[in-house]
Chain A
Amino acid sequence: MSKSSPRRSFGRKSIGTVTVIEAKVHRSSARNARMAFILTAVIIGVLAAVVAAAYVHPIIALFIGAAVSVPCGALAWLLVRIWPVLRLLWWWTPEIVLAVLLLTGWVQLATHTSTLVTLAVVAVVLGVPAAVPALRRQVVAWVWCLIVRHRLRVCFAQFIIANQSGSLPLILWATPTPVGERVWVYLRPGLSLADLEGRLDKIAVTCHASSVLVERASDGNAAYLRFDIKRREVLTATVTSPLADVIDPDAPATDRPTPVIPTALDLPDVQAPTITLPVQPKKQTATSANGSKPAPAPSSDADDLSDWL
């Protein structure tokens, strides 16, 4: 759609056409729904007619086929049209399930027990994870897993342009790792690993993380990827080898023959090597090379010094 066309026909067009992508997606959804209706109807109709023809007259079978195919096609059409809603529901499934469970539990509790018991149960359910650090960390990690799936979807929807119909990658499950989360993603046509690698810094910002890595999760399928979201650093921790814990502490210590223990452990204990021997030939060569008289005593000292420096 060219930029000038909406302006020229501004009077006629409704305001709804301002968001161009939305209209495109909307139109393609309508077209897809129509295609789904026709395809489903034809295939189901033909199948039903062929099966029915084995029992009744072919003409009646055709009618039966038509009668079966129309509702099936309609169902397919409906599914495609409400697909955005279904997708939205799918994205929020864990949260919806969790909310339903919690609410049901709360209502059941409130109706069947006295207020005091209700409060006590709630206090235990909330208090224990809050008080035990290990549990608390686990709960927080799971919550981050829920959050990070939505943040990744925001990345894809907001700044990773996928394809014309605007289909987003399938964000599969997420698990906590010691440094953050690991999320598996199935790409749709229009994206690749290389596209994502160029935007990792932006993804990290969107996920409120320190850095993000992406790599292939399967050797056989380039669409199946794994995001590693890092929020913490583990490489600074001290790692111990498990070998240290498995040895038998009662193992007899090896009796080593006491080695000769060296004594001269400090600088004054070690005599300076006698320097007269190496110095003498140097002096001789120096004088002979110069071809001059041997220098007086103070200057020969200086000479020695520079030799040693």
Chain B
Amino acid sequence: MATASAPTAGIPVGPGLSMFDPIFIGIDEFGQHVYITLAYRNLLAGGEPGGGKSGLLNTIAAHAALSVDSRLVLLDGKLVELGQWEDCADAFIGPDITAALDVLRRLQTVMNNRYAWLRAHGRRKVTALDGLSVITVLVDEIAFYSATIGSKQEQEEFVALLRDLVARGRAAGIPVIAATQRPSFDIIPTSLRDLFGYRAAFRCTTPNSSNIVLGHGWAEQGYTATDIAPTNQGAAYLIAEGGTPRRIKVAYLDDAQIAGIADYATWTRRPTRLSAPTGTRVDWETAA
């Protein structure tokens, strides 16, 4: 399903990066590079606290920030995990469910407009040639929004909007990357969990938790995130739709590196930030 072939030498970087490119996220157990293509897939990361979920989200955010055709929407109840990307993000939501709902509703409208635009052109999905930006939605600790803050009603609306984005967003170029400690039914409904194309299981305490992330029955076949050593943070099982889980180690950016990339991304994005929205929005209006 990957649109671009994996690069053979090194990783393409700089302003030429695109969200339609394969994203480098780490190495597999043979030391080979692991790439995922997020433009048409969603990703769910699960695992115990300190497993490395936020590390994975930051690695993806770094690629998205350096991509030319990308916009970042960040929801982070903890403020600090994704906080360094605030300046290159189009929306950064802290512990505020009203703001979270607002931005999700905006995204839903954008998604509907994009589908109308695609239909008008007789097409089925957004491609790299459309000049539309991929809006990457990163949610750290879903449980905070879906089960902790706000009223019951707001939490339900949050889950409903998120499910809509996950279910329909992929062809419209709005992938969702979410992290939560244990994606059991009381945190995110099973119907929502099963929609994520990529799942990454960081260390879990029971085979059952691992199964909840990876999908049913993998622990019995020997793929269980309980066998990751507690000291080996950032190691995970990654499963892509229809494949078998692979053991990977996620690439890690420390705070200084993130600050450097974020500053650089903010610097390089500023010119496009002024012109791009108007350009695309005009396209939008005429098309829709």
Q: Residues of A at under 8 Å CB distance from B?
A: 177-179, 182, 228, 230, 233-244, 246-249, 251-254, 256
Also in contact, A243 and B66, with CB within 8 A (given A177-B31, A230-B29, A251-B264): yes
CA–CA, A70 to B247, complex, Å?
60
Closest to B228 in A: A235
Report A214 CB to chain B, min CB distance, Å.
13
Interface code B265-279, partner A: CB below 8 Å = 1, 0 otherwise?
A: 011100000000000
Pick 21 A–B contacts, CB within 8 A, sort by A. A177-B30, A178-B31, A179-B30, A230-B30, A234-B29, A235-B27, A235-B29, A239-B26, A239-B250, A239-B251, A240-B252, A241-B59, A243-B24, A243-B62, A243-B63, A248-B264, A251-B267, A252-B263, A254-B87, A254-B267, A256-B87
CA–CA, A178 to B234, complex, Å?
19
The answer, yes or no, to whether B14 is at the interface (CB within 8 Å) is yes
The answer to whether B264 touches A235, judged by C-beta atoms less than 8 angstroms apart, is no
The answer to whether B13 touches A246, judged by C-beta atoms less than 8 angstroms apart, is yes
Which residues of chain B in 6-28 are interfacial with respect to chain A, using CB atoms and an 8 Å cutoff?
A: 10-11, 13-14, 24, 26-27
Report A255 CB to chain B, min CB distance, Å.
10
Residues of A within 8 A of B235 (CB): 235-236
The answer to whether A254 touches B62, judged by C-beta atoms less than 8 angstroms apart, is no
CA–CA, A248 to B15, complex, Å?
11
The answer to whether B263 touches A253, judged by C-beta atoms less than 8 angstroms apart, is yes
The answer to whether B27 touches A242, judged by C-beta atoms less than 8 angstroms apart, is no
Report B125 CB to chain A, min CB distance, Å.
25
Q: Which residue from A237, A240, A254 sits with its C-beta under 8 Å from B263?
A: A254
Report B162 CB to chain A, min CB distance, Å.
27
The answer to whether B252 touches A241, judged by C-beta atoms less than 8 angstroms apart, is yes
Residues of B within 8 A of A253 (CB): 263
CA–CA, A252 to B87, complex, Å?
13
Residues of B within 8 A of A234 (CB): 27, 29-31, 249
CA–CA, A5 to B183, complex, Å?
67
Of all A-B residue pairs in the complex, the 6 with the closest CB atoms, nearest first, are A178-B31, A246-B13, A247-B264, A251-B264, A241-B251, A244-B257
The answer, yes or no, to whether B261 is at the interface (CB within 8 Å) is yes
The answer to whether B267 touches A238, judged by C-beta atoms less than 8 angstroms apart, is no
The answer to whether B260 touches A182, judged by C-beta atoms less than 8 angstroms apart, is no
Question: Most B CB atoms within 10 A — which of A182, A241, A249?
Answer: A241
CA–CA, A256 to B83, complex, Å?
13
Size of interface on B: residues with Cβ below 8 Å to A: 36
Q: Which residue from B24, B250, B264 sits with its C-beta under 8 Å from A242?
A: B24
CA–CA, A107 to B260, complex, Å?
59
The answer, yes or no, to whether B109 is at the interface (CB within 8 Å) is no
Report A243 CB to chain B, min CB distance, Å.
5
Closest to B258 in A: A244
CA–CA, A244 to B250, complex, Å?
14
The answer to whether B27 touches A249, judged by C-beta atoms less than 8 angstroms apart, is no
Also in contact, A235 and B249, with CB within 8 A (given A244-B260, A254-B263, A256-B87): yes
Closest to A180 in B: B30
The answer, yes or no, to whether B39 is at the interface (CB within 8 Å) is no
The answer to whether B29 touches A243, judged by C-beta atoms less than 8 angstroms apart, is no
CA–CA, A160 to B237, complex, Å?
31
Residues of A within 8 A of B248 (CB): 235
The answer to whether A182 touches B249, judged by C-beta atoms less than 8 angstroms apart, is no
The answer, yes or no, to whether B262 is at the interface (CB within 8 Å) is yes
Residues of B within 8 A of A256 (CB): 87
The answer to whether B62 touches A241, judged by C-beta atoms less than 8 angstroms apart, is yes
Residues of B within 8 A of A228 (CB): 30
Report A276 CB to chain B, min CB distance, Å.
26
CA–CA, A248 to B13, complex, Å?
11
Also in contact, A246 and B14, with CB within 8 A (given A228-B30, A235-B232): yes
The answer, yes or no, to whether B99 is at the interface (CB within 8 Å) is no
Residues of B within 8 A of A243 (CB): 11, 13, 24, 62-63, 66, 253, 261
CA–CA, A172 to B163, complex, Å?
49
Report A183 CB to chain B, min CB distance, Å.
13
Question: Most B CB atoms within 10 A — which of A230, A246, A248, A256?
Answer: A246
Which residues of chain B in 218-234 are interfacial with respect to chain A, using CB atoms and an 8 Å cutoff?
A: 229, 232, 234
Residues of A within 8 A of B87 (CB): 254, 256
